[in-house]
Amino acid sequence: MANTAELEVEIVAADHFVWSGAATTVNARTSEGSVGILPGHAPLLAILAAGEMAIEPVSGARFTVTVDGGFFSVDSNRVVIVADNAQLNDAANAGTR
């Protein structure tokens, strides 16, 4: 469980798990434009645009995930990304389940 200075992030595609873990920031493109999520962000539900998302994990190096659309939700420091298709661009950063 993430503390108040962290985000609990989970990324899943329609047919597979992609990544989950604690992060300090999540950057993504939505149908309304780019969004940056930090701990304490207001609740949000948005349509995810195709492109790259950037995740800054609590431990480890920043990495990107390529997504083909879906949706993006934020509530109580929990970020859930459900993508039509998603691929982790750096397999060395595999998260936990």
What is the mean pLDDT, run by run of 10 residues, along the chain of 97 residues?
80 95 97 96 96 95 96 97 93 51
pLDDT at 4: 74
Q: What is the dihedral of CA 96, 7, 86, 71, to 10 degrees?
A: 140
Measure the CA–CA gap between 4 and 88, rounded to whole angstroms: 26
Question: What phi and psi values does residue 91 have, to the nearest 5 degrees?
Answer: -60, -20
Instruction: Give yes or no for a contact between 95 and 70, defined as CB atoms under 8 angstroms apart.
Output: no
Q: What is the pLDDT of residue 1?
A: 47
Q: What is the pLDDT of residue 2?
A: 47
DSSP state of 43: P
This prediction has a pTM of 0.87
> What CA–CA distance (Å, rounded) separates 58 from 2?
10
Q: What is the CA radius of gyration of the chain?
A: 12
Helices and strands per DSSP (H, E), number in the chain: 0, 9
